[in-house]
Structure 1
Amino acid sequence: MMMHQVLHDKLKADAERLSEALEHMSKLFLAPKEEKTLRAFTSAEVGELLRVSDGYLRKAHFDGRIPEVEQGPGNKRLYSAENILQIRNILAQNAKDPFQFLPGRRQGDKLQIWSTVNFKGGSSKTTTTVTLGMRLALRGYRVCLVDADPQASLTTFFGYQPEIDFRHGGTLYDAIRYNDGETSRVPIVDVLRKTYFPNLDLVPGGIMLSEFETETPTALSRGEQPVFFNRIRDSLRQVEDDYDIVLIDCPPQLGYLTMAAVCASTSLLMTIIPERVDLASASQFLTMASGVLEVLYSNGGIGAYDNFAYLLTRFDTAISTQQDLSEWLRQLLGDSVIKTPFVKSSAVSEAGLSQKTIFEVDLATTKNRKTYERALESVMSFSNDIEKMIQSAWGRGGTNEA
């Protein structure tokens, strides 16, 4: 007689098989125990990141004001991210305006916390968050990325396999969890991870974050403090002095995790694909969010925001309806729509297959250089738009080139 497999046994067995397969796949991209590394940058890229001209950079080397770096083919200088950070600090020490090179917080500036939200998956929410974080770190800001999504896609960009590496803890959940008699939450510094990107730290996500969604109603009924909407905010206060910017990648739903992230934030970034179905989903999200946030506001959960911005993502310049809808959306929502869209590009997708962002791809070795350059230009442009909004929240209008 054939025995029917119990569902939970099948799911457990499938999960184990999938986990083993993913671990094997990871080893194809990364040598055992080897961490990801970042490529070198050209002098033109470094000049843009430091907000100086190529000539300024060459003269600084010639005068001995900054150390020499590795040379590549054709004796062209190649800079590591550590080189860039070292040079940034040296130039800041001798500059008339040191904040040109160190654009982050000054005394009295509040920590900028941006949450990326969307009701619908597939809107490039995670890709936007990690790409923006890397760009801001390269521009000289101290950045912390927080993965608040149980799927932990953002965490995988840094070479981790959450289902393996954080099977027994070490994620955001540990820092915001409720007490259960045996285990209590830990300081967020206990789960913070340094990354291979200078100036960029990570609070990993993982499947255990889904427990926060199921545990919160019970915690509310017994009056456990702090309440859910203060838990991410309270955790981040422990490291407030260590960063200029925190970016939180939220799950694609309006649950307790998203609400906790929203209540911790100073600004919100909503990713929207300019398609009718996605616009309808965005409208539903905004309607639901407004009602929920009104309740949280009346209970002291949230206050005023610096920005609620919309970023058009997966924008296909070859599709006329997308261009029409994007223009319609700009007319409808005005300056809330970020000027530059995040264009749809095979370069972004191809980079993601090997757990990379567009910033990590070595353009010198890629076969589709022009495609990558167009994608990189799009990413740099929308990141610059957001950087200006961050500077504006600090009461200043950005930095000038030397």
Structure 2
Amino acid sequence: MDARTPLPPMTQEDLDRLAGRAGRVIEALRSRVYAPDAEKRLELRFNVKSAAEMVGRTEKAIRDAEGDGRLPAPEVNPGTGRRLGYSLAEVNAMRDVFGTRPWRAEGDPPAVIAVQNFKGGVGKSTLVTHLSQFLALKGYRVCVIDCDSQASTTSIFGLNPDVDVDEEEDTLYPFFRHGGPTTLHYALRATYWPGLALIPANLGLYDAEYEFAARMARDQSFVLDRLRRGIETIQDGFDVVLLDPPPALGMISLSVLRAASALLIPAPPNTVDFGSTAHFLKMLSSTLEELGRMGGARDYDFVKIIATKVNDQKSAHVAIRRMMDQVFPEDMMASVLKDSAEIDNATAALKTVYEIAGPATRTETHRRCRAYLDAVGRETELLVRKTWPSHRAALEREGLL
């Protein structure tokens, strides 16, 4: 009897070929959607009305500052003589001139927010990238730390994890190793977004899970608090630090939970994901209790569940979303991250919705998508400001406390 199957075996060489093909596709995509030198650039331009709203001053104040030399004259189209609009860097220069940067005061703690769920596919990286860019548009100093070896967030920010990121020099991996760097400054990368820095990831970060697990028995405090201590070495330069952890309960996820001062929990409103979120919350509670016994209790400034991938046309989504509001009346964010073709199309081009420019921004689909993304950003911004003592008086004047 012939015991052989009609299927040829899948060898290591075959797997290597598959990986190589996938890598070539990604590289071709980057060459097509990015600038000719394969580096992403921010193409956003703002007219004087939009710039005035962003800066918090009148259009006349901006023109007066340009007239008296406090601000440079705007760039114009040599053919038409019309203004080309302001870049985000130029808008931030206006904020500096007028003193309207929204930065935290020196005595305020930075917000270290982990977007955490132990299940993949819930919109974690989508939330991290869009939230970081919303805050950068507002003028905050933001750092995104990609802690996930799948490196989706790193890719959206224009880096090919397999080509542009060295695991021994650019990721968290060296910092997690015994005898590694003493600060995280070595891994910080400025991005094409003014005011937004990134610590990238790649597949090599996965090795840290094994090394951490092996070291846990010998030195619990090193493993659990390493990331928190690393963030403390760079926090003076940022208002908000966003952590994108792996979608699993591993050693890096545990260190993220110890490093964060706040949690956002993305949860799609369907039966499977709601059940997964319920299990995540139970696991989170028991995990934090155990971590507390190991290294001291960890309190958070806020923990919020945000409904993601919401489709209002699906009755099940509406029903489960309503149930989530009833089960978590004080813990759900009022804003939601809806399912949108605009997000899918942007992601297909390795972009976010905030990076779309030109005529595409004038469609109704884009405006709706921007509206709910902005709502998520504003609600998160308010939560962050409530953690800063120096903002209390302003929040009271604004009727937000």
- State the TM-score, normalized to the length of structure 1: 0.88
Corresponding residue for residue 112 of structure 2:
113
Corresponding residue for residue 335 of structure 1:
330
Assess if the C-alpha contact under 8 Å between 2:173 and 2:208 holds in 1. Answer: no
Alignment of 1:1-400 (within 5 A): 7-39=11-43, 40-52=45-57, 57=62, 66-71=71-76, 75=82, 78-92=85-99, 101-179=100-178, 184-185=180-181, 187-221=183-217, 223-224=218-219, 226-300=221-295, 302-362=297-357, 364-366=358-360, 369-395=363-389, 396-397=391-392
Residue 353 (structure 1) shift: 1.1
- CA separation of 1:353 and 1:301: change in aligned 2, threshold 3 A: farther
Q: Where does structure 2 lack aligned partners over 5 or more consecutive residues? A: none
Residue 187 (structure 1) shift: 3.2
Assess if the C-alpha contact under 8 Å between 2:167 and 2:174 holds in 1. Answer: no
Assess if the C-alpha contact under 8 Å between 1:69 and 1:83 holds in 2. Answer: no
How many pairs align? 388
CA RMSD, 1 decimal = 2.7
Deviations 1:235-271 (A, max 9, x none): 1111121111100011111211111111001100000
Q: Structure 2: how far apart are the matches of 1:75 and 1:31? A: 25
Q: Structure 2: how far apart are the matches of 1:368 and 1:342? A: 20
- CA separation of 1:394 and 1:210: change in aligned 2, threshold 3 A: same
Q: Structure 1: how far apart are the matches of 2:195 and 2:222? A: 31
Q: Structure 1: how far apart are the matches of 2:96 and 2:262? A: 28
Corresponding residue for residue 95 of structure 1:
none
SS at match of 2:329: helix
SS at match of 1:165: coil
Residue 63 (structure 1) shift: 7.1
Residue 6 (structure 1) shift: 7.0
Residue 21 (structure 1) shift: 3.1
SS at match of 1:292: helix
Residue 356 (structure 1) shift: 1.1
- CA separation of 1:388 and 1:56: change in aligned 2, threshold 3 A: farther
Deviations 1:73-102 (A, max 9, x none): 89466110110110000011xxxxxxxx22
Amino acid corresponding to residue 68 of structure 1 in structure 2: A
Q: Structure 1: how far apart are the matches of 2:307 and 2:234? A: 31
Deviations 1:194-235 (A, max 9, x none): 1011110000011111112122221123x1475221111111
Q: Structure 2: how far apart are the matches of 1:259 and 1:51? A: 40
Residue 46 (structure 1) shift: 2.6
Deviations 1:164-196 (A, max 9, x none): 2225533433343223xxx73463111111101
Q: Structure 2: how far apart are the matches of 1:367 and 1:195? A: 23
SS at match of 1:41: coil
Q: Structure 2: how far apart are the matches of 1:367 and 1:191? A: 34
Residue 283 (structure 1) shift: 0.4
Assess if the C-alpha contact under 8 Å between 2:224 and 2:254 holds in 1. Answer: yes
SS at match of 2:18: helix
Q: Structure 2: how far apart are the matches of 1:148 and 1:185? A: 17
SS at match of 2:198: strand
- CA separation of 1:60 and 1:345: change in aligned 2, threshold 3 A: farther
Residue 14 (structure 1) shift: 2.5
Q: Structure 2: how far apart are the matches of 1:316 and 1:5? A: 42
Assess if the C-alpha contact under 8 Å between 2:110 and 2:240 holds in 1. Answer: yes
- CA separation of 1:251 and 1:3: change in aligned 2, threshold 3 A: closer
The more displaced of 45-54 and 16-25 is 45-54
Residue 367 (structure 1) shift: 7.8
Q: Structure 2: how far apart are the matches of 1:286 and 1:55? A: 51
Q: Structure 2: how far apart are the matches of 1:210 and 1:170? A: 15
Assess if the C-alpha contact under 8 Å between 1:171 and 1:204 holds in 2. Answer: yes
Deviations 1:316-369 (A, max 9, x none): 22223322322221222123211111122111111111111111101x321861
- Percent pairwise identity: 27
The more displaced of 107-116 and 159-168 is 159-168
Deviations 1:91-128 (A, max 9, x none): 11xxxxxxxx2222112111210000112222111011
Q: Structure 2: how far apart are the matches of 1:172 and 1:108? A: 29
SS at match of 1:261: helix
Q: Structure 1: how far apart are the matches of 2:313 and 2:52? A: 32
Q: Where does structure 1 lack aligned partners over 5 or more consecutive residues? A: 93-100
The more displaced of 162-171 and 280-289 is 162-171
SS at match of 1:366: helix
